[in-house]
Amino acid sequence: MKRISDTATDRALTRATYAGLLALALAAPFLGLYPVFVMKLLCFALFACAFNLLLGFTGLLSFGHAAFFGFSAYVTGWCIKSQGWTPEVALLAGMAVAALLGLGMGLLAIRRQGIYFAMITLALAQMVFFLCLQAPFTGGEDGLQGVGRGALFGLLPLQDDLTLYYVVLAVFLACFLAIGRIVTSPFGQVLKMIRENEPRAISLGYEVDRYKLLAFVLSAALSGLAGSLKTLVMGFATLSDVHWSMSGEVILMSLLGGVGTLFGPVLGAGIVVGLQNLLADKVGAWVTVIIGAIFVLCVLAFRKGMVGELIAWRERQRLAARA
């Protein structure tokens, strides 16, 4: 009975925490927070959550997720600027292209494991970077500038930062809930089993490669949506979006917050994006050194990430109380 009571208390506490964070997000523009900054944070939080779906719940470390994030950013920007598409269609186009790109990359990489899988994804992502550098529709080194926001469904103008903020927040919440549903579904349980013990999953008759490929495509599609939203918010897409360092940043976000947790990547994205914006005009290029030092300290002190360590601490407290 005490164990059931502890579980119910944890669930109630989790719901209360999420409700408080939702209320904070809804009120953020009225609390003095710059809407564009929060929108950028939400885009990178979605990117980190998408990456965590692959690393944290499937156990696949990709060094090439910037390809999906950045290439979709270019596709969405091109569709809006050159083709005159409405933002919702351009976002779906970017997401679809990322899914197709993920399917192609996944078919090539998914049969390898560990560092070999990571290196294949990195090599393929560098090919996408070269494509973005050379393709005429991307603007080369200058990037794709001056992307308009348009009107959602042709009715809701998105030029107003406040209007766009709530659209981005709604998309982020929908994706966050979808990821939560995925990882708690039977499909998600199979992914966790593959992460923990792939030979056992094979012995039970699961087609492991098919599950990993589907997880890879889902992660790529959501990463592409994050990149597309970022283009809509910022009004441009540049080579930094598809550079290998962007793949490193999303790994950093996931590890800081807690790999394999739902909210960890969101917290990690908040820390990284917040520090970049806070310190960029004060220390310049040294911001990367500071973030790297914080990462090292976090790995040494919080090996499971901040949220992961909090969950582990709560579990130790529960076991101690039960004893």
pLDDT confidence tier of residue 1, bands split at 50, 70 and 90: very low
Q: What pLDDT is recorded for position 319?
A: 78
What average pLDDT is seen over the chain?
Answer: 88
Which residues is 237 bridged to in the sheet? 144
Residue 75 has phi, psi (to 5 degrees) of -60, -45
Is residue 320 over pLDDT 80? no
Residue 112 CB coordination number (10 Å) = 14
* Close Cβ partners of 286 (under 8 Å, ≥ 6 residues apart): 279
Closest CA to 128 of 155, 100, 93, 169: 100
- In tens, the pLDDT along 110-144 reads 888 888 999 999 999 999 999 999 888 888 888 88
Query: How many angstroms separate the CA atoms of 110 and 120, rounded?
Result: 9
Which residues is 157 bridged to in the sheet? 151
Range with the poorest average pLDDT among 21-35, 125-139, 224-238, 280-294? 280-294
Q: Which residue has the higher pLDDT, 54 or 2?
A: 54
> Rounded to two decimals, what is the model's pTM?
0.93
Query: How many angstroms separate the CA atoms of 2 and 9, rounded?
Result: 10
- In tens, the pLDDT along 188-226 reads 999 999 999 888 999 988 899 999 999 999 999 999 999
Structure tokens at 55: 């690393």
Is residue 256 over pLDDT 70? yes
Query: How many angstroms separate the CA atoms of 137 and 63, rounded?
Result: 25
Is residue 11 over pLDDT 50? yes
Q: What pLDDT is recorded for position 171?
A: 95
Q: Is 171 exposed, middle or buried (0-12, 13-18, 19+ CB in 10 A)?
A: buried
Average pLDDT for residues 253-279, to the nearest whole number?
Answer: 89
